[in-house]
Chains A and B, each alone.
Chain A
Amino acid sequence: MKRTIAGLLFSSLYALPGAAADVTLAVSNIEAVQGELRWLVFDSAEDYAADRNPVVAGRSRVQADAMAVTLHDLPPGNYAVKLFHDANQNGELDTNMVGLPTEGYGFSNNAGRFGPPDFDDAAVEVQADTRIDVRVR
């Protein structure tokens, strides 16, 4: 089975009890074909809010304005995804002088109208193989 870097990272962190599922992040509306897409997957509101202890952290070169990333063998649970398009590959979501993002980003459920959504709004229940669509904003 072909595994992504994220999948390898994940499986090294966890010993899996019970049925695990593959999650496909279907990412669209990437502004420019350059740089990297970076994603973080959280399974708790606390970690999500603090950007701590992601269950998956991954990155991939952007080769089209849409891409699919498979995260393998996640145990059943609620997950929220944050991702951003690191167009200049400096490892950060760039912001301007007033703190507003100048690179693309997105959340699972495409949640959040004014700023980042709460974990509950972004969380997706994973019991079986699941596709999560994220439109980069």
Chain B
Amino acid sequence: MNRREFIQALGACPALQALPHMALAAGSPAWKLGFDGVSGDLSPLSLKVQGAVPEDFSGRLYRNGPALYERGGRRYQHWFDPDGMIQCYEFGPKGVTHQGRLVRTAKLQQEERAGRFLFDGAGTHFADALPARSNEDGNVANISIQPLNGELLALWEAGSAHRIDPQTLETLGVKHWSDELKGVPFSAHPHFDDNGDLWNIGSVPFGARPMLVLYHVAKDGTLRNARLHQLEFPGYMHDFVLTPRYLVALNNSAVLGAGDTFVDRMRWNPSQPSQLLVFDRSDLSLQATIEVPATFVFHFGNGWEQGREISFTGCAYPDARIMSDGMRLLAQQQSGAYHTGAELVRYTIDLPARAARVEPLGVVMEFPGFDQRQPFRAQTLYGSAGQERSESSLGSAVVAVDPLTGKQDRFDYGDGVVVEEPLFVPGKGNNYLVHSYLDYRAGRTGVALLDAQRLASGPLMRAEMDRVTPLGFHGCFLPGADASGPNSA
């Protein structure tokens, strides 16, 4: 009997389920692989391609996400905690390659030298954690990566962005906007206008008074304007909406109170209505504060204006359990009742009337994205879906939704697959949807390409590798056939 047969025989014998390690295996969800994490960089690897990479599709998919879960025998307990890793999938004539590189934050370097976690995570408290100078000490740069002026920015939401070399994935340093913005939160969801300028929020619920910073950065990377606003309450804010004339943020009804960690302190408060905050892009001044029923939104679709109305979509949760419970159980690799999925809703603000409608579109989805060439048009949204029936509570499908009618097109990979954020990539003929995924039954991470107009017919191409990489959050696709990319090094 070889080792494999022996293990299979063990599994067939119920009495042996009582062995401690077997009990652990039985209790661990199959998807746990996606949250095992890494201990270092992931060297370049060629993927096995099924189907063919279309001729008009080349470039790099960059993604960011929490990756380093353990150090010195201790493990983070929340998905927001681990140090970020940039993963790059490169599509070219030679096929598809992948590599991953941890963002060399000051925190990571200090902890590497110390051999242990020195600081608390967003959702994990260590009894011997060092007191932090400010939010910036906990900067793990683990939420997104977006391009700006020939570089990439690895984004967190409670501190500075980190500059990343698109060729080597090396960390070039902290992005400096101005002296007075040093260490000020810069959210992970900047948005680009039709001129290529970048707009962002920075949420500071933990300040002496709750504050929101607004940023306008020219496409050459220089700061155009930054403005500070006091908030009426310290709600959680992760993303916002850009329209031709306005910047709209939602002050969520998860509100900062007392507790051991940032996540513990962010308590769902259904008696606190959420607030839509409408700012004028021209001077970043507050134009209106409009109450909507208590909600919790991480992500918004794009925004458009029509007459006196401002419209946009968002993935709205009925409460904050996704952050307080769901993301904790995922990082702890525990099965359980997670949370209710996010439903896509359409917001319509009547600005002169200072009123807003919120209408459900009948689809559970997350990680909304769109064709960034037309940021201000009512247009198809793409996202991951199927959260409401998956084992992990994460999406197993890609979906396209019309934000006016709710009409859907989708492809479901079925049980055993977690779909990561899909991105719209314009091609010469077809338009594509590209996304990474984890096939946790097979123990493989991969990337898939679909025809954006015909999701239901399934992937045009899948490419997989003989390793599992940590499930992450957001990224970007940069087109181009440059053969000297990071993975060919």
Q: Is A52 an interface residue (CB 8 A)?
A: no
In the complex, A100 has a CB within 8 A of chain B: yes
A105: nearest residue on chain B (CB-CB)? B133
Q: Please tell me if the beta carbons of A98 and B184 are within 8 angstroms of each other in the complex.
A: yes
Q: With both chains docked as a complex, state the minimum distance between the C-beta of B198 and any C-beta of chain A, in angstroms.
A: 18
Kindly specify which of B51-59, B206-214, B275-283, B470-478 makes contact with the partner chain. Answer: B206-214
The answer to whether B207 and A100 touch across the interface, beta carbons within 8 angstroms, is yes
Q: Determine which of B132, B180, B185, B208 lies in contact with A137 in the assembled complex, contact meaning CB atoms within 8 Å.
A: B132
* Interface status of B134 (Cβ within 8 A of chain A): yes
| A137 in contact with B184 given A97-B226, A98-B213, A100-B207 (CB within 8 Å) | no
Interface residues of B in 112-166 (CB under 8 A from A): 129-137
Contact in complex: A96, B182 (CB < 8 Å):
yes
Which one of B134, B184, B207, B226 lies within 8 Å of A101 (CB-CB)? B134
Task: Check if B459 is an interface residue, CB within 8 A of chain A.
Answer: no
Q: In the complex, how many angstroms separate the beta carbon of B124 from the nearest chain A beta carbon?
A: 14
Q: A135-B130, A137-B130 are in contact. Are A100 and B135 (CB under 8 A)?
A: yes
Query: Which residues of A (13-56) have their CB < 8 Å from a CB of B?
Result: none
Question: Which chain A positions have C-beta within 8 A of B184?
Answer: 96-98, 100
Interface residues of A in 87-120 (CB under 8 A from B): 96-102, 104-105, 110-114
Cβ-defined contact, B132 with A98, below 8 A: no
Out of B136, B137, B208, B213, which one reaches A97, CB within 8 Å? Answer: B213
B181 at interface, CB cutoff 8 A? yes
Interface status of B486 (Cβ within 8 A of chain A): no
Query: Which A residues lie at the B interface, using CB under 8 A?
Result: 96-102, 104-105, 110-114, 135, 137
Closest 7 CB pairs of A and B: A100-B134, A137-B133, A97-B180, A98-B204, A102-B182, A96-B182, A96-B184
| Contact string against A for B residues 356-387, beta-carbon threshold 8 Å, 1 for contact and 0 otherwise | 00000000000000000000000000000000
Q: Is the CB of B211 within 8 A of A137?
A: no
What are 29 A-B interface contacts by the 8 Å CB criterion? A96-B180, A96-B181, A96-B184, A97-B180, A97-B184, A97-B226, A98-B202, A98-B204, A98-B213, A98-B228, A99-B207, A100-B134, A100-B136, A100-B183, A100-B184, A100-B207, A101-B134, A102-B134, A102-B183, A104-B133, A110-B131, A111-B131, A112-B131, A113-B129, A113-B131, A114-B206, A137-B130, A137-B133, A137-B137
Question: In the complex, what residues of A have CB within 8 A of residue B131's CB?
Answer: 110-113, 137
B183 to chain A: which residues have CB within 8 Å? 96, 100, 102
Most B CB atoms within 10 A — which of A96, A105, A112? A96
Q: How far is the CB of B83 from chain A (nearest CB, A)?
A: 20
Interface residues of B in 194-237 (CB under 8 A from A): 202, 204, 206-208, 211, 213, 226, 228
Interface residues on B, range: 20 to 34
What is the chain A residue whose CB lies nearest that of B212? A98
Taking Cβ atoms with an 8 Å cutoff, the residues of B that contact A are 129-137, 179-185, 202, 204, 206-208, 211, 213, 226, 228
How far is the CB of A113 from the nearest CB of chain B, in Å? 6
B231 CB to nearest chain A CB (Å): 12
Complex Cα spacing A96 to B159, Å: 12
Closest to A136 in B: B133
| Residues of B contacting A114 in the complex (Cβ-Cβ under 8 angstroms) | 206
Residue of B nearest to A97 (CB): B180
- Name the distance in Å between B432's Cβ and chain A's nearest Cβ: 40
5 additional A-B pairs beyond A102-B134, A113-B131, A137-B130, beta carbons within 8 Å, are A97-B181, A100-B134, A100-B136, A137-B131, A137-B137
Residues of B within 8 Å of A110, CB to CB, are 130-131
Give the shortest distance, in Å, between B396 (CB) and chain A (any CB).
40
Which B residues touch A105, using CB under 8 A? Answer: 133
Q: Give complex CA distance A104, B204 in Å.
A: 20
Task: Report the minimum CB–CB distance from B114 to chain A (whole Å).
Answer: 11
Q: Report which residue of B130, B131, B135, B204 has the largest number of chain A beta carbons within 10 angstroms of its beta carbon.
A: B131
Complex formed: what's the CA distance from A96 to B182 in Å?
6
Are A98 and B130 interface neighbours, CB within 8 A?
A: no
Could you say which of A99, A101, A105, A110 has the most chain B C-beta atoms within 10 Å of its C-beta? A99
User: Shortest distance in angstroms between A117's beta carbon and chain B's nearest beta carbon?
Assistant: 9
Distance in angstroms between the alpha carbons of A135 and B132 in the assembled complex? 11
B206: nearest chain-A partner, CB-CB: A114
Instruction: Report the minimum CB–CB distance from B187 to chain A (whole Å).
Output: 14
In the complex, the chain B residue whose C-beta lies closest to that of A110 is: B131
Chain B residues whose C-beta falls within 8 Å of the C-beta of A98 in the assembled complex: 184-185, 202, 204, 207, 211, 213, 228
| Nearest opposing residue in chain A for B180, CB measure | A97
Q: Within 8 Å CB of A101, what residues of B? A: 133-134
Residue of B nearest to A117 (CB): B131
In the bound complex, residues from chain A placing their C-beta under 8 Å from that of B129 are: 113
CA distance A100 to B183 in the complex (A): 8
Determine how close the nearest CB of chain A comes to the CB of B188; give it in whole angstroms: 18
* Min C-beta distance of A103 to chain B, whole Å: 8
- List the B side residues contacting A102 at CB < 8 Å: 134, 182-183
The chain A residue sitting closest to B132, CB to CB, is A137
- The answer for the CA separation of A137 and B226 in the assembled complex, in Å, is 27
CB distance from B173 to the nearest CB of A (A): 15
What separation, in Å, do the CA atoms of A88 and B129 have in the docked complex? 28
CA distance A42 to B351 in the complex (A): 54
Considering the complex, give the chain A residue whose CB is closest to the CB of B120: A113
A106 to B202, CA, bound (A): 26
B208 interface neighbour in A99, A111, A135, Cβ under 8 Å: A99
